[in-house]
């Protein structure tokens, strides 16, 4: 009887250890997929197009770009047309896929092409100086995620070690943001939520510390004058 009890206890311990590693492995895979998703989507033309559209819709960006009233009116019309066309594309997609409750971004047929088409049309409204400055504002809107762009890595001359460091930091940031979401959803005590928020703010310095002084200067040149694009 005692022997069976011991075997049962050992079995439960082994099962618990296996479960622990399985859960944590799943979390690690989830975080890696989240990072890969961010890194890959930054390269996609339709995501870059959406970034342009979002920035050009910002009042602070338009002020910085010195967009004229005539240009603003044309941009608003272009974006309004995109919105209406997008609504129709999604309506058609939902009729064909009534069983899918949660759709992925750009899952509806034609939405990727529409984003790129809208971006190209909007760019024609701007002059060459505005288009050049828009590239800087687009990079600014990405935050530190811009270091995952191949072109930016080349301009900053990042080493393989630095690229790995940025990736590791991003995975840690994703992990912390997941924790923040869990705490806010569970309505955790305000001081616990505030602690996580303070930890998230520290990542700006952590990312900056990866760069050398020369690379920081290159980053400044890439981004240009910083603008608050939340308005």
Residue 213 CA, chain-centre distance (Å), reads 26
Which pLDDT band, with edges at 50, 70 and 90, does 101 fall under? confident
Q: Is the pLDDT at 15 greater than 70, yes or no?
A: no
Per-residue pLDDT, averaged over 119-141, amounts to: 96
Q: Give domain limits for the chain.
A: 44-141, 143-231
Q: Is the pLDDT at 201 greater than 70, yes or no?
A: yes
Which pLDDT band, with edges at 50, 70 and 90, does 194 fall under? very high
User: CA 145 to CA 42: how far, in whole Å?
Assistant: 8
SS3 of 21-69: the string is: HHHHHHHHHHHHHHHHHHHHHCCCHHHHHHHHHHHHCCHHHHHHHCCCH
User: CA 2 to CA 9: how far, in whole Å?
Assistant: 11
**What secondary structure letter does DSSP report for 231?**
-
Residue 221 vs residues 42, 52, 130, 139: alpha-carbon distances, Å: 20, 19, 16, 11
Which pLDDT band, with edges at 50, 70 and 90, does 20 fall under? very low
User: CA 166 to CA 158: how far, in whole Å?
Assistant: 10
Which pLDDT band, with edges at 50, 70 and 90, does 231 fall under? confident
- Asked which of 9-18, 64-73, 166-175 is least confident by mean pLDDT, the reply is 9-18
Per-residue pLDDT, averaged over 63-73, amounts to: 97
Tell me: the pLDDT tens digits for 21-65?
334 444 444 444 444 544 455 567 788 899 999 999 999 999 999
For residue 179, give the nearest of 166, 168, 193 by alpha carbon: 193
Helices then strands, counting H and E runs in the chain, come out as 11, 0
User: CA 5 to CA 15: how far, in whole Å?
Assistant: 15
**Predicted local distance difference test score (pLDDT) of residue 104:** 80
Task: Give this prediction's pTM.
Answer: 0.77
- Asked which of 32-36, 57-61, 74-78, 166-170 is least confident by mean pLDDT, the reply is 32-36
153 in Cβ contact with 163 (< 8 Å): yes
């Amino acid at each position: 009887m005692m022997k069976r009890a011991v075997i049962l206890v050992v079995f439960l311990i082994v099962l618990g250890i296996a479960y622990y590693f399985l859960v944590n492995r799943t979390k690690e895979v989830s975080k890696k997929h989240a990072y890969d998703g961010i890194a890959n989507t930054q390269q996609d033309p339709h995501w870059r197009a959406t970034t342009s559209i979002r920035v050009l819709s910002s009042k602070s960006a338009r002020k910085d770009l010195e967009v004229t009233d005539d240009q603003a009116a044309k941009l608003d019309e272009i974006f309004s047309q995109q919105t209406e066309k997008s609504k129709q594309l999604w309506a058609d997609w939902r009729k064909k896929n009534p069983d899918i409750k949660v759709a992925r971004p750009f899952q509806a047929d034609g939405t990727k092409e529409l984003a790129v088409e809208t971006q190209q049309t909007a760019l024609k409204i701007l002059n060459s100086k505005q288009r050049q400055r828009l590239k800087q504002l687009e990079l600014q809107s990405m935050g530190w995620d811009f270091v995952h762009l191949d072109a930016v890595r080349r301009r900053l001359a990042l080493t393989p070690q630095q690229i790995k460091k940025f990736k590791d930091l991003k995975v840690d940031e994703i992990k912390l943001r997941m924790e923040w979401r869990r705490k806010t959803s569970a309505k955790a005590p305000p001081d616990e939520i505030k602690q996580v928020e303070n930890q998230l703010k520290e990542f700006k310095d952590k990312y900056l510390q990866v760069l050398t002084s020369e690379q920081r200067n290159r980053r400044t040149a890439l981004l240009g004058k910083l603008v608050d694009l939340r308005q």
